[in-house]
Structure 1
Amino acid sequence: MKRIVIDCDPGNGIAGANVDDGLALALALAADSIKLELITIVAGNTPRDTGYRVARQLLQELNKDIPVVKGAAQALIEPAAPWREQLDNNVRKQGLLSLWDNLPPLSALNDHSAPHAAQAIGELVCGHPGEITVVAIGPLTNIAHTIQLYPDFARSVAEIVIMGGVFQLDGYLKDTNFAVDPEAAKIVIESGANITLAPLDVTTQTMLTHQDLDKLQSFANPLTDFIVRTSRPWMDYSIHTRHLAGCWIHDVLCVAKLIDSDIVTSSPYIVDVSTARDCTRASSRRWKEGALRLTVGMPEVIHQPVNVMESVDNQRLLDIIFNALGQYRC
């Protein structure tokens, strides 16, 4: 059984927010081969405190007692306001708020807990070297803070599975997770930890449709009820704005890979994240060691390669989700 931490920015039930974090959490909660020991929250897809309430709402509906710890409310350097304007208000600007009209608001939550995600992650991982996998599916601010606070973290973590980056996908210069905090992404990628990366290039090969949600709905358990209820509006939004058959499920791939590594193909690459203050900012590049032919003027790269996912079997991914969530019992 894999012991994992999920560092995330969930948005299930929040107008205009992606729901893939919630599906990743659901799979981790339902899978027999995974023990979810800690959930930490970072600002990204949603503001930090909103993501915290979403995660607590999910656990409350399941009557689950797993620690949920707040982390960073903003990036290391990148200002938060422009991202919040883009991520929180885009759905209103497009006139699609009504898609979420039938969803009840989040439950009231009176919580004043301290944001100590980095400490919680660092103590768990460094206290159990080689045993804990961190699934990082939001901006990497919390993980960067952990690396800065715990010098042994990179060598103690079993693996960090990251959803982030984009390399050769038409129309995308960067992805949200790296873009919200490129300095944090660079710190983590260059940390020397054992890293597997799921870039947009592979996660946009995934697809979840309303027919798939119908199948999940037929299982009629509290976990699938939450996922179906909160995913329908986002899926309609995705169909309307991205002209897809359903919606991509980026983040869940990072958890599913821990259950069945054969659902993806991958290769080791040197990965670099730009922190320049120009049009390359937050963009990512990858290359094979020794493969670049024109290296004059380039700084020497001393960090080790990371394992980059390249393709996914979407039907096998869906089967993993169906099998786990279908047999879930509180």
Structure 2
Amino acid sequence: MSGHPDGPGLPLVIDTDTAADDCFALLVGLLDPRADLRAITMVAGNVGFDQQVENAFLTLELAGRAGQVPVHRGARQPLVQPWISAEEVHGDGAGGLRRTGDDRPDAEPAQDALVRLAEQHAGELTVVAIGPLTNLALAVRRDPAFASRVRELVVMGGSLNGRGNVTPAAEYNIHVDPEAAQIVLDAGFPSIRFVTWDPLSLQHAVFDAGRIERIRRLGTPLGDFFVRANQASFDFDVAMGVGGSVHCDTLAVLLALDPALAEVERRYDVAVELAGTHTRGATVFDWHAPRGGNATAIERIDGERLFEYVLRLLSR
């Protein structure tokens, strides 16, 4: 890895609710030479919206990319229901670290930036959505042709087997705005690839205490940032019996750049439960896929390869 490419990389937008693993996912988009990160778009999710924006700018600074990638503010609330915080998981999402610069978000709203970039890079743009899908749904509403112009949408969200992490059935990113998720699934994106919470992330994207210690021993600024920003999530996940912190957002961005990382994937017809008393926000992956499937779920990746990649990224 030699840093941001001199030549063109994959035109990329990361739509994020920046906290902990989202920050590390941004580092992939900012530092991997295969990526040409055109924008960071912010959506209501993990922590307070203004804190998320601060965390995005902090990550830009730490990557040595301050002032080089625009940050666009998007939806501060889901389409229908009130915002649901995950601050009990992430704290402030940055381990108390603060940026030193004073860069400000771009005046263009996130949904407008998404529509514009999809038009400018028609058939080439990849969008990685690692938060709730509100901004994507608003872009679909803004321009019916938006979805068809995006080469690929990678979504971190949902669960293949009905196991949630907020409710018994619902994963956080989908649970926060299930209406938005269904709009995105119905929009006609040429390719949607899901990085699910369970089983994919829980089986292949967990960093246990031994892995965190290897990162700590790097002694680099990025390694120190990772350990500090990750601590709250690590403690929460371990207390929940996961065995370490889960790095599905980082995995999602890496899969956009390196599709071969996926060892097993399968087509599904995917829908979101919008009305269930106990299952609202659950993703239903129909393995029969009678219509040929509207999305692909990645079912297995090389978890050791993911960790070694992160280790190299943070050793810079």
Q: Structure 2 length normalisation: TM-score?
A: 0.85
Native 8 Å contact 1:72 1:141 kept in 2: yes
SS where residue 118 of structure 1 aligns? helix
Same amino acid, percent of matched pairs: 30
Matches within 5 A, 1:70-219: 70-80=73-83, 83-84=84-85, 87-88=86-87, 90=88, 103-104=96-97, 111=104, 114=107, 116-168=109-161, 170=163, 172-193=168-189, 194-201=191-198, 202-205=200-203, 206-219=205-218
2:251 is aligned with 1:253: yes
2:11 is aligned with 1:3: yes
Distance 1:166 1:113 in 2: 34
Residues 258, 101 of structure 1: CA spacing in aligned structure 2 closer, same or farther, 3 A cutoff? closer
Residues 290, 274 of structure 1: CA spacing in aligned structure 2 closer, same or farther, 3 A cutoff? closer
Distance 1:221 1:268 in 2: 41
Post-superposition shift, 1:103? Answer: 3.8
SS where residue 78 of structure 1 aligns? coil
Native 8 Å contact 1:10 1:45 kept in 2: yes
Counterpart of 2:21 in structure 1 is: 20
- Residue segments in structure 2 that go unaligned for 5+ positions in a row: 1-8
Offset from partner CA, 1:214-242 (integer Å, 9 cap, x none): 33344444433322221134323322x22
Counterpart of 1:295 in structure 2 is: none
Matches within 5 A, 1:163-312: 163-168=156-161, 170=163, 172-193=168-189, 194-201=191-198, 202-205=200-203, 206-239=205-238, 241-264=239-262, 265-276=264-275, 278-289=277-288, 304-312=293-301
Native 8 Å contact 1:269 1:286 kept in 2: yes
Moved more, 141-150 or 113-122: 113-122
Distance 2:149 2:93 in 1: 42
Matches within 5 A, 1:34-53: 34-53=35-54
Q: Which amino acid aligns with 2:13?
A: V
Post-superposition shift, 1:277? Answer: 5.6
Rg larger for = 1
Distance 1:234 1:191 in 2: 33
Counterpart of 2:310 in structure 1 is: 321
Distance 1:102 1:31 in 2: 24
- Residue segments in structure 1 that go unaligned for 5+ positions in a row: 12-18, 292-301
SS where residue 245 of structure 2 aligns? coil
Native 8 Å contact 1:31 1:325 kept in 2: no
Offset from partner CA, 1:34-81 (integer Å, 9 cap, x none): 12121011011112221111001111233312111111000000122x
Residues 220, 32 of structure 1: CA spacing in aligned structure 2 closer, same or farther, 3 A cutoff? farther
Aligned length: 299
Q: Which amino acid aligns with 1:160?
A: L
Native 8 Å contact 1:166 1:199 kept in 2: yes
Offset from partner CA, 1:292-314 (integer Å, 9 cap, x none): xxxxxxxxxx7952111112221
Distance 1:290 1:220 in 2: 48
Residues 107, 73 of structure 1: CA spacing in aligned structure 2 closer, same or farther, 3 A cutoff? farther
Native 8 Å contact 2:27 2:63 kept in 1: no
Moved over 6 A (4+): 99-102
Distance 1:263 1:251 in 2: 14
Q: Which amino acid aligns with 2:10?
A: K
Q: Structure 1 length normalisation: TM-score?
A: 0.82
